[in-house]
Each structure stands twice: as structure tokens, then as C-alpha cells.
Amino acid sequence: MGRYFPDPGKLLMNLSGIWASVFVIAVLAMTLVGKIKSLRLINRYRRFIGLSAFFYALLHFVIYLVLFAGLSWRWISSDLIEKPYIYVGVIALLTMSILAITSTKGTVRRLGKKWKPLHRLMYLAALCVIIHLWWQVKSDITIAAWFTLFLAPLLIVKIPTLPLYKKFFKKN
């Protein structure tokens, strides 16, 4: 594109992370919108959007391993001490991996009623993304703030459906 960057790895790392986060927002928003009767058609694309979030997160991880760490375990272990926010990123990626693996038609059928509670783990992944973003903020909060603005309401509306919330507030 005729543009030069001091560190293309950094740019690719940021772009892949941003796209992964955008797809996380999209899939959670679709879950909500898909409940509206006239918009149910949208549910067909949920798997595709969820898998896109996973693949961008995986790409983000591969870029970290190859372009940042140069596949050096020694480098990674010292980086992990300096950047603990990486751990929460890994939790988000691992969670999304489980959801990607169990998203096939066969697994949905085999898991039956257990599939839905398992796939609510996407909210845990989203929470980890918010923590991952705020934990790495140095001075510029723009990215963390924008993603929180979209993700927080999607998480908050789910609180009343949590088993713990129901146990304490919906005794009748």
C-alpha cells in the first residue's frame, strides 16, 4: 500500500486483535437480536461469525508466536512476566477453541441440552477480552474504551439469566 511501519508485527497484532474483538461483539449481539421473531433468520449466520472471531483470535496468537516471539520459548516466558494480560487472552482463546470444536451439527446433536449452557462460555471469553484490553492500557484508552462500550451492555443484559443471580434474587 506504499505505507511503511516501524514494526509491521505490531500492526498485524493490533489488526487481528481488533477484528477478533469486533466478531466477538457481533456474535453476542446476534444472539440477542436473533430472539426477535422477525429477525430469526440472523441465527443462521451465528456459527460463521463465531468461527470468524475464533480464527482472528487464533491468527492474533500465531502472529504473537511467530512475529513477536520468533518462536522462542525463552522470550515468551520472560514476556509473560512483563505482560500478565496475555494469560487472560489465552483463557479467551482456549474458551473460543472449545466453542469452535463443539459448534458442528453433529456435536450440537450429541450434546443436546448441554450445548446451550456450554456455549454461554462465550460471555466468559468476552469478559476476558475486556480484561485483556484494559490490563494492557498504558496511556491511550481508546481501543479498550470502545470495545467495553459495546461489550459491557451485552454482558450486563445476561446477568439476570445467571444461575447464581436467579438463586439469590428470584426466590418465590
**What does the binding site for ligand HEM look like in residue numbers (CB under 6 A)?**
10, 13-14, 17-18, 20-21, 24, 57, 60-61, 64, 83, 86, 89-90, 92-93, 129, 132-133, 136, 143
B/e letters for 36-51, b = 16+ CB within 10 Å, e = fewer, are eeeeeebeeebbebbb
**Residue 104, phi-psi category: left (phi > 0), alpha (psi -120 to 50), beta (remainder):** beta
Contact between 13 and 5 (Cβ < 8 Å): no
Q: Smallest distance from the beta carbon of 165 to ligand HEM, in angstroms?
A: 25
| Residue 102 or 148 having the CB closest to ligand HEM | 148
Least spacing, CB of residue 114 vs ligand HEM, in Å: 24
Q: What is the largest CA-CA distance in the chain?
A: 66
Lookup: cell for 129: 477480552
**Residue closer to ligand HEM, measured from CB, 39 or 66:** 66
Quote the least distance from Cβ 103 to ligand HEM, whole Å: 16
Length of the chain: 172
CB of 129: closest distance to ligand HEM in angstroms? 4
Q: Are 135 and 90 in contact (CB under 8 A)?
A: no
Nearer to ligand HEM by C-beta: 14 or 78? 14
Of 24 and 154, the one with the shorter C-beta distance to ligand HEM is 24
